[in-house]
A and B are shown apart, each in its own frame.
Chain A
Amino acid sequence: MHELSIAESILEIVTESVPDHDKRVLSVTVEVGELTAVIPESLQFCFHAIIEETPYKGAQLIIREKKLTGECRKCGSGFTIKNYFFQCPDCGSTDVQVTGGQELNVTELEVE
């Protein structure tokens, strides 16, 4: 259940980004990569549980899931990594750099 501590970190970022309490936060958008093993449903649950007693109560959490992608260091080919099989589909090399799927970011807030 690291979703709880991730939700707490999201709340911290929201608090720092909206110091003006006259503004109401409507939604928080986050990017969650496939490789981070964060379960969106758990994150939703934890986020809503911890904002209950804050001025952000009622804010929506929008989770954008990011696919695991890689780039071959040998032939330069870019591809989606399926079933966590870190091999280039073009040349067969296993020297693969992960280019996506490790994201854990707050990207934007909608306020009014």
Chain B
Amino acid sequence: MAEIVTVERQILKKNDEIAAENRAVFRDEKLFVFNLLSSPGSGKTSLLEQTIARMFSKYKIGVIEGDVQTDLDAQRISKFDVPVIQIVTKGGCHLEANLIQNALANFDLSGLDMLIIENVGNLVCPSNYDLGEAEKVVVVSTTEGDDKPVKYPNMFRVASAMVVNKIDLVPYVEFDVAAVKKNARSINPELEMFEVSCKTGDGIDSWCGWLEQKIAQAKSGAAV
């Protein structure tokens, strides 16, 4: 005799619970944490290099690198004297909260001002997985389509900032900066927006200014 069992359980509840534990750890450390997301090749690691170069004399920064294979990104970051941990997902298309929790076991957070989690290059899957971060930042570059936000709405909806990278290439590509902003705003009117070139350094100051505000908020316990 068949019977119906009511379950009503959130499929990602385990992930969300671990993310909440991570968030509590970050809050206790008064640490600002952001999750950096984009398609492959938009310039997440280049943005990290520019950001660290600009901020590391004033702030203590840590990095968790997520990649499907290799520790090449961690090697790029290791030229700066900042703690960096590489998570290799071995085919996994996104980071999950438990991977961050495991990485934190080997990471001394004390004294850090900002922890950057560079996610796997992918605009779909990572959007569903909370890692415990304060903010999600999505990078889109001018060598992609300016319709990226409407093609990947969930990512742009959950992000709090969008960085448009490779702005130096605008004269050479079919990318309309006003259009990408309009598309992004239709999905998320509160999205903060920055235009940068990791090649020339344009716009990096304004982006780092936003991060400094977020670090100050985390220190005062106002964030999250």
B96 on the A face (CB < 8 A): yes
In the complex, what residue of chain A is closest to B123 when comparing beta carbons?
A37
Q: How far is the CB of A99 from chain B (nearest CB, A)?
A: 14
Bitwise, A71-84 to B at CB < 8 A (1) or not (0) is: 00000000000011
- Please tell me the size bucket of the interface on A: 20 to 34
Tell whether, in the assembled complex, residue B12 and residue A112 are in contact, meaning their CB atoms are under 8 Å apart.
no
B125 on the A face (CB < 8 A): yes
Q: How far is the CB of A36 from chain B (nearest CB, A)?
A: 6
User: How long is the Cα–Cα vector from A1 to B68 in the complex, in angstroms?
Assistant: 13
Bitwise, A58-101 to B at CB < 8 A (1) or not (0) is: 00000000000000000000000001111100000011001000
Query: Interface size of B by Cβ–Cβ distance < 8 Å?
Result: 33
Tell whether, in the assembled complex, residue A37 and residue B127 are in contact, meaning their CB atoms are under 8 Å apart.
yes
With contact pairs A37-B154, A84-B186 given, residues A2 and B5 touching in the complex (Cβ less than 8 Å): no
B188 on the A face (CB < 8 A): yes
A52 on the B face (CB < 8 A): no
Q: Is the interface of A mostly helix, strand, loop or mixed?
A: mixed
User: How long is the Cα–Cα vector from A77 to B70 in the complex, in angstroms?
Assistant: 50
Tell whether, in the assembled complex, residue A109 and residue B94 are in contact, meaning their CB atoms are under 8 Å apart.
no
Tell whether, in the assembled complex, residue B96 and residue A112 are in contact, meaning their CB atoms are under 8 Å apart.
no
B92 on the A face (CB < 8 A): yes
Tell whether, in the assembled complex, residue A111 and residue B3 are in contact, meaning their CB atoms are under 8 Å apart.
yes
User: How long is the Cα–Cα vector from A90 to B13 in the complex, in angstroms?
Assistant: 35
List residues of chain A with CB within 8 A of the CB of B96.
5
Tell whether, in the assembled complex, residue B94 and residue A2 are in contact, meaning their CB atoms are under 8 Å apart.
yes
In the complex, what residue of chain A is closest to B14 when comparing beta carbons?
A9
Which one of A5, A86, A104, A106 has the greatest number of beta carbons of chain B within 10 Å?
A: A5
B93 on the A face (CB < 8 A): yes
Q: Which of A5, A6, A104 contacts B92 (CB 8 A)?
A: A5
List residues of chain A with CB within 8 A of the CB of B128.
2, 36-38, 104
B9 on the A face (CB < 8 A): yes
List residues of chain A with CB within 8 A of the CB of B185.
94
Tell whether, in the assembled complex, residue A104 and residue B10 are in contact, meaning their CB atoms are under 8 Å apart.
yes
Which one of B9, B14, B150, B152 has the greatest number of beta carbons of chain A within 10 Å?
A: B9
User: How long is the Cα–Cα vector from A80 to B189 in the complex, in angstroms?
Assistant: 18
Residue pairs across A and B with Cβ atoms less than 8 A apart, 30 shown, are A2-B124, A2-B125, A2-B128, A5-B94, A5-B96, A6-B11, A9-B11, A9-B14, A9-B15, A17-B7, A30-B11, A35-B153, A36-B154, A37-B125, A37-B154, A38-B128, A83-B150, A84-B150, A86-B157, A95-B189, A104-B12, A105-B10, A105-B11, A107-B6, A107-B8, A108-B4, A109-B7, A111-B5, A112-B1, A112-B2
A-B pairs with lowest CB-CB distance, top 5: A2-B125, A84-B153, A94-B189, A112-B2, A109-B5
